Structure 1
């Protein structure tokens, strides 16, 4: 597959001022019109796009080797174009089957039992330059603020889910079902989101559990929003 750019930077936008900050930071850190294109899922007037459909809608316009799907409220602060290329090349050497990568993810690990394990490098509302785990590190969920995929090996979120929550975990699960994997990589940025929860969060969680109870009954997922026990199987919890 021919690539006109290294990156297609796709953003879900509701606030133009925040998106302008994103563009400024990307330009400052080496993302130019020669190596990158910038595409927008425009939600300024109304929610035409949601977390599960905007990847699919923009994919057909992308001409980059890698596709970045990111929120409008991220800002690059020390890592840039060269570091991201390096991190993805390192990941390719580590696991050529990777399909999804991000900056903050979660997984389970075995020690004296199962324990929750965060793998991340991020500045956000919880702290400056937070670092956990060895990277690249395989995860089963990713924060949706910044996700990278390969254009030649696309993976999409579910067609039977909607909303603005759990689509990072869904995308990682879809990658797993396709025979690939998801990873957190060492690429430091700042996310200015508030991680708000409400009625829509609970609705998305219920729909997510309903779908995956048929696929992974009894599985326990560790998502960036907390532990999720999928109903069914031997470990059904009501």
Structure 2
């Protein structure tokens, strides 16, 4: 048999572009204004691709589905997911690359970063401008965080992140990506990259729905549980008392209960 149909994958394939700049759009003119600002800041068409999903006439994709489409399609070393209402009019591409180089030296396992986020309860940080020359800066950067704001995200293509298939809407997808990054062994950061965001965000009535969905999903995902494999059984738990739940007597009780359930 001839085996010329087999395709060998190299250990590390070079990206086609330096950056993939991805945006869900509802106002095409504003999106084009954003693209122009990227190009003026040094993100040239020769090594950057601009991908968008057009939701201007009707909603073709929510953020979770759309970002997964971007992440699968993008061919850049870095994938920028951003709002259409930002302008790269403060810092430039050179500034961003200096910040990414600094971050890479600090933590080679970073997967996603942005210009605003939170490192814990009441520890919100940001480095961002708004119209009328309003500049807001709080935090010591770069700073490892647990959640990011969605206005501007930089994602390593090699981290192979994705949003949850069982979440939907247009809020908290950056938090979802940060949680996925941590599960996969990566980290999330806020860097001091300044741009203009033309709005202060929109926590509309759908935000609370997205919040409830995300909490429900991860409460279930991070629950205490026994794992039975073909060759081993063990407890997964973040609780400090997991030594109690993982002792042989507790395992015996769980096995007995599972046996009873099968006979019910």
Instruction: Give the TM-score taking structure 2 as reference length.
Output: 0.76
Aligned pairs (5 A) from 1:76-155: 76-108=88-120, 116-124=122-130, 128-155=134-161
Which residue of the partner structure matches residue 170 of structure 1? 176
Contact in 1 for aligned 2:161/2:177 (Cα 8 Å): yes
Which residue of the partner structure matches residue 192 of structure 1? 198
Taking a change above 3 Å as real, the CA distance of residues 119 and 9 of structure 1, as seen in their structure-2 partners, is same
**Residues 29-85 of structure 1: per-residue CA shift (max 9 Å, x gap):** 111112211111211121111121112112232121100011101101221111111
The structure with the greater share of residues assigned to helix is: 2
**Residues 118-152 of structure 1: per-residue CA shift (max 9 Å, x gap):** 22210137982211111110011101111111112
Distance 1:38 1:123 in 2: 23
Contact in 2 for aligned 1:119/1:135 (Cα 8 Å): no
How far apart are residue 173 of structure 1 and its match?
A: 0.8
- SS of residue matched to 1:162: coil
Taking a change above 3 Å as real, the CA distance of residues 148 and 214 of structure 1, as seen in their structure-2 partners, is same
Taking a change above 3 Å as real, the CA distance of residues 140 and 126 of structure 1, as seen in their structure-2 partners, is farther
5+ residue gaps, structure 2, are 1-12, 224-238, 241-264
Contact in 2 for aligned 1:100/1:148 (Cα 8 Å): yes
The structure with the greater share of residues assigned to strand is: 1
Distance 1:95 1:126 in 2: 35
Number of equivalent positions: 213
Distance 1:35 1:104 in 2: 26
Contact in 2 for aligned 1:65/1:152 (Cα 8 Å): yes
Distance 1:126 1:21 in 2: 18
Which residue of the partner structure matches residue 156 of structure 1? 162
Taking a change above 3 Å as real, the CA distance of residues 71 and 174 of structure 1, as seen in their structure-2 partners, is same
Which residue of the partner structure matches residue 27 of structure 1? 39
Taking a change above 3 Å as real, the CA distance of residues 126 and 137 of structure 1, as seen in their structure-2 partners, is farther
- SS of residue matched to 1:39: strand
- SS of residue matched to 2:60: coil
- SS of residue matched to 1:92: helix
Contact in 1 for aligned 2:131/2:196 (Cα 8 Å): no
- SS of residue matched to 1:45: coil
Taking a change above 3 Å as real, the CA distance of residues 160 and 73 of structure 1, as seen in their structure-2 partners, is same
Which residue of the partner structure matches residue 221 of structure 1? none
1:50 pairs with 2:62: yes
Distance 1:127 1:34 in 2: 32
